[in-house]
Every structure is written in structure tokens, then in C-alpha cells.
Structure 1
């Protein structure tokens, strides 16, 4: 049986941070005040800093999947600070290290990849776009406004006050420019990827909300560890956005997770979709 074409699918489930937003730059920039205070970490490369941080983050996600992501970031920053404090002499006072909450709130400053927004508008013509992200509702709001290219109206991109079991359907919000039909976060699913509960939750909602089964769902993500590999295990097709220079989320690269296609940017994928259906 031949492989399906990109346009055979009806829904795209996006990872956000790493795929649509440049979380590596965002995290590395936000770590600078801490890293600069210790002689050892001040010499770390970008890759060394990010890998040290992500191992702490993953450990906390496994231990407490119910923790809001902003709090998890704060706690990960605190663990990293404590580890540096135990192994090095700070170049400044210990009191100045206690900016963990600021780091936890830094998501609003994480940049969007330059190809993302135009690609989302193009892909929106062919698919229902869904977010499944290891984030919390409040932290995603600023990113959502950026992805919608409408940062002047932030209230339109925050999760509405809904019943706890209701779904976040941005396109039901009047005047919203959101490209997404559904937004799901770890706060909704109760699990951090790569825990399969998140993807299973998303597939169930997509079936109930849109009447679309997993055979017509395509996962698009940069992280092999968080998204591509667990999707493959659930027999869900995926596209790997192989962001050049990225170092996070590649733990399973040597295990050859199965992806349908690979592109270096989301913009390249959008062009490939247009090439399959140029009339759309």
C-alpha cells in the first residue's frame, strides 16, 4: 500500500513550542540571568544549557503531571539554580538567584518562528488545525495572540470561562483571528507528552467534535521524543519539522521513529501541500 499524501488528511495536531514557537531561544534567553552568575554555567554552550534544563523539566513532568506548566518552569529553574549553587561559587549574591517565578512567566516572550504564521494561514485552507501542547491555559494566551497575528486584542486569545469539561474552540469566539479549531493543553489532558494519554485524549475529542478518526489525523512536530515517536506507537501519521540547529526533543533520533515526511520548516510543508493541491 502506498503512503498517503499530505492532503489525504483532514486534521493537523500541532505541537506548539519547538514547532511553531522557538522555545529553545526563549528558554536560553530567559536562563541567562541565572547562568551568568556562576563561572561554570557562564561558559556553557547553548546546547549544554538547554539539555541540562530539559532533563530537569522532563523529570518534573514525570513526577507531577498535574502541575501547571508555568509552575513547572519555575520549579525547574529552582532545581537548576540549586544544582549550580551546590557545585559552584556564585559570582553574585544568592538572593539574586530567586527569580524563579519570572522564568516561569517567560513564555510570553518566546518568539514565533518567522515562517509559522503564513504557513498556518495556508494550512488552514486544507485542514482543521489543533494544538496539543505541554503548556497551561494562561501561558498559552500570549503565544496564541502572536500565532493569530492579533496581539492588540489579547482577550480574544485567552481561554474563555468555560465549564471544566468544555473544549477550547477558538473559532467560536467572535472576532477571533485564530487559525485553530481546537486547543488542548496539558492542563486539559492531565498529562505531559510523551505520555500517550495526551494524544489519546486529543484523538477522542477530534472524533467527537469533528467526526474525524485518527486515520485522517496528521501530527506535525519538531520533537521526536514528545510527539513523533509516541504518535508512531499509536499508529498516527506524523510529519517531522526538522528545525535546523535544534537540540531538544531529539532523544529518540537514533531509534528511527517513523514519520511520513520531513521538512526543515513549516513553511516548506505548506508549500508541499500547495503543490499537491495547487487549485485550493
Structure 2
């Protein structure tokens, strides 16, 4: 399903992916990690829907990201859990361990079932880049999963502390099976999307490192708010992965404005099939 049939996927050389929501099922991860809090509280137990819970949480998260983009994502999640706890009338201080557990839950968030196979198809045709609102330590676990590796191999998917830029599939030791040519997190850029500093940093590095201008860069993401709408303002084309049941990051659908994406697919696997069809 397309908002613009006049362009070809194969006209692009680099894909910038959002990770959480696009490649990884962050909504299920967040919701399931919130259930212990929700179940024990009279206001939320049995009354808050999944959608209502996620929208309440994301508003808290966005507010915290705006207030202090220097906070690491694991800590920001912990702080958001504390704020939600307080909004339900519980003491934040009595649940510090629970807040920390929630902050570390990123490592347990599952990938969408089509993700790994689709990435292996797409890496044959593009340089793949991650631009994600996450921190280095949390992303290592997701990176290993995206690469088809196990936690026992985590070291190969953890950003080296001394690395100025992380180009994982250019690793000289050959231990990494990462599909990504570049990984940038909020910890690297000092900004949480949709702040344009993250995307501008990514475009600058892509130009310097790979000689690819923004006209040949494609943003592929589920969140319209964090990625598609924000990048379109910078003149970067986008593909919307409209994951079934997703509720976060879709505020602009209610605005009535023309869509900012060039193509819309239900899964990343569907997009990968479309690329293969164009190539053939």
C-alpha cells in the first residue's frame, strides 16, 4: 500500500532503521514488564486496556526525554516506571528495585518474527544503519538477537568503549555477524528522536563514511512521530512499517495532513519481498 507510487525502493543505497517498534516488539515488551505494577493497583488492575497503558506510559517517557536527553535509556525507563508508579498513588522510593528491573527489561524484548530474515535480504542491497533511542549496554542484547547470535556471544555485539564510531560489520576480528554498517544511539547523538540532531548526525556520518547523500537514504520505521514525520521535515524519504496492533507514535494519523511516507508495509518481511521483486 503506497502513498507515493512514483519512486523505487532500489533507488536508495542506505536504510536507517528505527529499532524498537520496527524490528523489536517494544510495545509487548513494555506492557508485559508493566503488568506487576498494573495488577496490584486498584486503579489500573482489570480496567486499563493495553492501548491505554501504552499511551499513558509513552507520554511520561516523551516528557522525560524532552527534559533531559543526557539520561541513558535504561535509566530513563526506570524513571518512567517510577513516575507511573507515583501517578497510581504508590511511593516511588518503596519500589526502587522494581524500577531498576523495568529499566533493564530491554534485553528481554522480543524481535518480530520476520525481522532477522528480512534484514538478511535487505543487507544484500543496502547499507543498514540503526538510529535508536537506546543506550549502548541495553542495545547489545538486541543487537545480538538481530544478528542471529546468542547471549553467550554478547561481547561481539557490544560497542567497544574506545570506538569513536561503531561500524560493526567492518570489525577486523570477523567475529560479528551483524547486518549493520553503522549503529547510532541516543547515547551517541545526545538526543532522543524526534529531535532532529540524531538524524542530522546520522546523515553526516553516512555521507562521510559511505559517500551517500540524504537523497539516497531511506528511513524505515514504525513510529510516525519519532521517525517518519521527523525525517520528512529534513527531506529524507520514509517507508512506514505499519505493525499490526501498534498504538505508539501514531499521533499524526489523526491530523488529517497528507502522509509523510513513500510506501507502507505491514511487516519488514513484506518490504524485503518488494525490494527483491524490484531487483528481479
Range of TM-score over shorter length:
over 0.9
Residue 45 (structure 2) pairs with residue 42 (structure 1): yes
Matches within 5 A, 1:121-160: 121-151=120-150, 152-160=152-160
CA distance in 1, matches of 2:259, 2:53: 26
| Aligned residue in 1 for 2:275 | 273
Give the paired residue count. 271
Name the SS of the counterpart of 1:39 in structure 2.
coil
| Aligned residue in 2 for 1:81 | 85
Q: TM-score, normalised by structure 1?
A: 0.93
> Retained in 1: the 8 A contact 2:16–2:131?
yes
| Aligned residue in 2 for 1:29 | 32
| Aligned residue in 1 for 2:230 | 230
Aligned-residue RMSD, C-alpha: 1.7
Name the SS of the counterpart of 2:251 in structure 1.
coil
| Aligned residue in 2 for 1:170 | 168
CA distance in 2, matches of 1:4, 1:204: 24
> Retained in 2: the 8 A contact 1:61–1:192?
yes
| Aligned residue in 2 for 1:114 | 113
CA distance in 2, matches of 1:45, 1:199: 33
> Retained in 2: the 8 A contact 1:228–1:257?
no
Deviation of residue 96 (structure 1)? 5.3
Deviation of residue 97 (structure 1)? 7.0
Structure 1 residue runs without a partner (length 5+): none
| Aligned residue in 1 for 2:263 | 261
| Aligned residue in 2 for 1:6 | 9
Name the SS of the counterpart of 1:178 in structure 2.
coil
CA distance in 1, matches of 2:95, 2:203: 45
Q: Which runs of 4+ in 1 moved over 3 A?
A: 94-98
CA distance in 2, matches of 1:29, 1:147: 21
Name the SS of the counterpart of 1:181 in structure 2.
strand
Deviation of residue 39 (structure 1)? 1.4
Name the SS of the counterpart of 2:89 in structure 1.
helix
Residue 22 of structure 2: which of 19, 35, 58 is its match? 19
Deviation of residue 36 (structure 1)? 1.1
> Retained in 2: the 8 A contact 1:193–1:226?
yes
Deviation of residue 40 (structure 1)? 1.5
Deviation of residue 95 (structure 1)? 3.7
CA distance in 1, matches of 2:21, 2:132: 10
CA distance in 1, matches of 2:122, 2:89: 47
| Aligned residue in 2 for 1:189 | 189
> Retained in 1: the 8 A contact 2:5–2:262?
no
CA distance in 1, matches of 2:259, 2:230: 9
Structure 2 residue runs without a partner (length 5+): none
> Retained in 1: the 8 A contact 2:16–2:218?
yes
Q: 1:2 to 1:41 in 2, by over 3 A?
A: closer
> Retained in 2: the 8 A contact 1:22–1:112?
yes
Deviation of residue 2 (structure 1)? 7.5
Deviation of residue 4 (structure 1)? 2.3
Q: 1:142 to 1:6 in 2, by over 3 A?
A: same
> Retained in 2: the 8 A contact 1:232–1:257?
no
Q: TM-score, normalised by structure 2?
A: 0.93
CA distance in 2, matches of 1:34, 1:146: 28
